[in-house]
Amino acid sequence: MTRRRLPPLASCAAHGAAMLACAFALLPVLWGLSTSFKFAGEVHAWPPSWLPATPTLQNWKDAVLDPRFLRYVLNTLFVVGVSLIISITFALMAAWATVRFHFRGREVLLLVMWSTIMVPGIAVVVPLYGLAVDVGLYDTLWAPALVFSAWLVPTLVWLLRGFIAAVPAELEESAQIDGCTPLGAFVRVTVPLLWPGLVAAAILVFVMIWNDFLIGYSLTLSDENRLVQVGIYAFMTETGVEYGPLCAAAIASIIPIVVLYALLQRYFIQGLTGGAVKG
Amino acid sequence: MIITRRAALGATLVSPLARPALAQGTTIELWSFLDPAGRGSRPEAMAHVIRTFEAANAGARVRTNVIQWTELGPQLLRASRAGQVPDVVMLYSPYMSPQIAANTLQPLDDLMQGWSAESKADLITLSIARDRQNRLYGLPWELRIYGLFHRADLFQAAGLRPPETLDQMVEAGRRLQQGAVMGLGASFAAATSTAPIEWFLPSVIGLGGRLLRDDGSASFVGPATERILTFTHELVHRHRILSLDVALSPSDDVQNIGIAGNLAQYFQGSHRLTTMQERSPAGAQWSLVPFPAVEAGKPTPISLQGWNLSIPRRARNASLGFRFIEHWTSAEMQLHQAVAAGYLPVRRAVAKDAAFATDQNRRFGLTEILEAVAQRPLDFPWPENSDALNDALGRMIQQVITNRMPVREAMAWGERTYNELRR
């Protein structure tokens, strides 16, 4: 595909629009970064200062170097890890089954599965809490991990179906002729070709869980089991919001996502667009 | 009955001696909104309480679970259903009633039976922490009132005294309103501010209004409500010392304007005085007086609130938990945290102690506040859901200050709103 060169005026307008969009997205983050280096008195100063007059690392020390923050991060990584394994395994199986096998009720099954994506979390959080209490998982990291796993499967099925459909079924059939079982053929032949889709799915799982507040807040209680976004909430104190440490913790919490996305953005874009047009 | 500090201190110190020794390694779990490992005078004062408790009770340990302050009540409700309650929980007084109604707390009366009459009488308890049978479910470890924060330096420079009446408050606001400095800050954003029940309600009650009938339904329509609503409208539109933007902003944002040095006076709770002094460049210039009277010689009653220490039902170690509560509410600890962190003490003897009545505390208005509380406490039949009352009053005030409704219409609307909310 050849790229059409834009006329100078249109090019300027396009670049201008892109820069505006970037500024719109980045300004709050940059403002938060600046705030994280300010003393409390300067945070609320009027007129506001774009850059800290006397930068301090105290907010970062208070928020990010606190051992509890590290624990929140590790807790969240544990939940991400468990959810990744469970949700991608189930989603792969479900996507494969619905692409390769034709059975009665398949379309209805997919429709029902996808319709669950539209159910807002707040609508199911009370039953989920009750369930977690009844099965003895309340205030354990397994509770959010299992809920996220179940919650993300329909989205991942939708994402992965396109990739599986793009792999010719003949490849799996060849493997079966060579002695593989249908599942063995899928795992050995098709799954290795799904990397862009799997990476996109993994990023999606990571971002959704990392940014979650509702489930983490509702299903865990003690400090030992707190997730990162719930931990940040503690900076909204009884005597006012501690903006300095809050911003330091918030900025620190987005670093893993930014790094992950920067490293894998090629797969992510490829994965999302691929899944959107095929299947 | 006059109770000396020494007697109260003696009573609270001697009582633990009569108790059996602890099993080694006993740990109690405390749910707190304050982190004893945090920085600042308040966390440090709490750390001192825990440290001295552990030193005085060999083998005892306090494990603190820090929970965001607005979530302590909801989390306790959830934990009670799950059977995973702590041994001691902090609950803010307006949130005691729902917990009592939900039967999540143990009455403390039996545990207090060993207390001397002197010690009991010395401790200030809050009526909102009692049920209809007058059983007590929480002992406060600190007290606070809502009042008028003001910048002493600005008042002094203008030759003004702290306002004692609303007219004086308006006059001060007009004279001090210059450049970026606004004359008055007050938040009536119902969801994020308690000014409707902390200022508006006592002002109406002080004028002889009722606000609630005996059956608990709203009785907003009346001359007292009308007068305070009209005054609130005038603050924004006639006197112009309270900006509409500020009045509709969340309470924390109004405080931030004060921290930035752009308020001469504003409505806030005494518990935030230390925070203001620590965070604001104006520092110790921030002082507090009780809310000004609507009319000279007719002072506004003072609403006393505070954080309580309660023991949940099914707590594993209730007796040690209560011993911790006793320790925190002892005269010694109360004096320490009052001096170190500016808390209003829950023991009357401490309030009279020379160590508390320092020049500094007098200057900040803390000693005068305690005297004022004793003289004119707010006597109000708090409903189980005080949030609904705050919400209805706040929304009624908003209708008026935004000129959406005239005062009389807003009163009737507010009444209907509260009656619907309380159902």
Instruction: Quote the radius of gyration of chain B (alpha carbons, Å).
Output: 22
pLDDT of B176 over the 90 cut = yes
Q: Do A239 and B272 touch (CB under 8 A)?
A: yes
In chain A, the residue whose alpha carbon lies closest to the alpha carbon of B64 is A223
Q: Which fold has domain B5-137+304-375?
A: D-Maltodextrin-Binding Protein; domain 2 (3.40.190)
pLDDT in tens, A239-252: 888 899 999 999 99
pLDDT in tens, A66-87: 888 999 999 999 999 999 999 9
**What's the number of CA atoms in the CB half-sphere (13 Å) around residue A131?**
11
pLDDT of B67 over the 60 cut = yes
Q: Which fold has domain B146-303+380-421?
A: D-Maltodextrin-Binding Protein; domain 2 (3.40.190)
The DSSP call for residue B108 is S
A238 closest CA partner among B150, B24, B72: B72
Which chain A residues are within 8 Å of B38, Cβ to Cβ?
62
For residue A264, tell me if it sits in a domain: yes
- Which residue pairs from B270-273 have beta carbons closer than 8 angstroms and sit at least 24 positions apart in sequence? B270/B144, B270/B145, B270/B146, B270/B147, B270/B344, B270/B366, B270/B369, B271/A238, B271/A239, B271/B142, B271/B144, B271/B343, B272/A239, B272/A240, B272/B149, B273/B149, B273/B342, B273/B364, B273/B366
For residue A272, tell me if it sits in a domain: yes
pLDDT at B14: 40
In sequence order, what are the residues at sequence separation of 6 or more whose Cβ sits closer than 8 angstroms to the Cβ of residue B332? B9, B12, B13
The mean per-residue pLDDT over the stretch B346-350 comes to 88
pLDDT at B152: 93
pLDDT in tens, B299-308: 899 888 899 9
Categorize the per-residue pLDDT at A155 as very low, low, confident or very high, splitting at 50, 70 and 90.
very high
| Residues recorded for chain B | 423
Range 29-48 of B in CB contact (< 8 A) with A: 33-35, 38-39, 42
Amino acid at A1: M
3-state class (DSSP) for residue B211? strand
pLDDT of B422 over the 90 cut = no
CA B328 – CA B335 distance, rounded (Å): 10
Residue ranges, comma separated, of all CATH 3.40.190.10 domains in chain B are: 5-137+304-375, 146-303+380-421
**Chain centre to alpha carbon of residue B34:** 15
Categorize the per-residue pLDDT at A3 as very low, low, confident or very high, splitting at 50, 70 and 90.
low
pLDDT in tens, B236-265: 999 999 999 999 999 988 998 998 889 999
CATH number for the domain spanning A133: value is 1.10.3720.10
pLDDT in tens, B73-84: 999 998 998 888
pLDDT in tens, B100-149: 999 999 999 999 999 999 999 899 888 889 998 999 999 999 998 889 99
Mutation pick from B66, B68, B181 vs chain A, by most beta carbons of A within 10 Å, is B68
The model's pTM is 0.78
Q: Dmax of chain B from CA atoms?
A: 67
Categorize the per-residue pLDDT at A272 as very low, low, confident or very high, splitting at 50, 70 and 90.
low
| Residues recorded for chain A | 279
pLDDT at B16: 41
Which chain A residues are within 8 Å of B68, Cβ to Cβ?
233-234, 236-237
pLDDT of B10 over the 50 cut = no
pLDDT higher at B383 or B21: B383
pLDDT higher at A86 or B95: A86
User: DSSP string covering B131-161, please?
Assistant: -TT--B--EES-BEEEEEEEEHHHHHHTT-P
Which of B82, B261, B271 lies nearest to residue A239, judging by beta carbons?
B271
Total structural domains within chain A: 1
In sequence order, what are the residues at sequence separation of 6 or more whose Cβ sits closer than 8 angstroms to the Cβ of residue B21? B58
Which of B79, B81, B262 lies nearest to residue A46, judging by beta carbons?
B262
pLDDT in tens, B187-233: 998 777 888 989 999 999 999 999 999 999 999 999 999 999 999 99
Q: Do A221 and B259 touch (CB under 8 A)?
A: no
pLDDT in tens, A32-43: 999 999 987 788
Q: Are strands B307-310 and B218-219 parallel, antiparallel or unpaired?
A: unpaired
Q: Please, are residues B138 and B308 in contact by the beta-carbon 8 Å criterion? A: yes
pLDDT at A275: 53
pLDDT at A277: 47
Which chain A residues are within 8 Å of B65, Cβ to Cβ?
221-223
Which chain A residues are within 8 Å of B260, Cβ to Cβ?
44-46
For residue A263, tell me if it sits in a domain: yes
Q: Do B68 and A234 touch (CB under 8 A)?
A: yes
Question: Which one of A165-179, B323-337, B348-362 scores highest in mean pLDDT?
Answer: B323-337
3-state class (DSSP) for residue B259? helix
pLDDT of B391 over the 90 cut = yes
CA B352 – CA B367 distance, rounded (Å): 8
User: Which range (B104-108, B178-182, B255-259, B279-283) has the least confidence?
Assistant: B279-283
For residue A38, tell me if it sits in a domain: no
pLDDT at B99: 94
For residue A53, tell me if it sits in a domain: no
pLDDT in tens, A124-148: 998 999 999 999 999 999 999 999 9
Catalogue the E-assigned strands of B155-224.
211-212, 218-219
Q: ipTM score of the complex?
A: 0.72
Instruction: Quote the radius of gyration of chain A (alpha carbons, Å).
Output: 23
Mean pLDDT of chain B: 88
pLDDT of B11 over the 80 cut = no
Residue B403, phi then psi, degrees to nearest 5: 65, 25
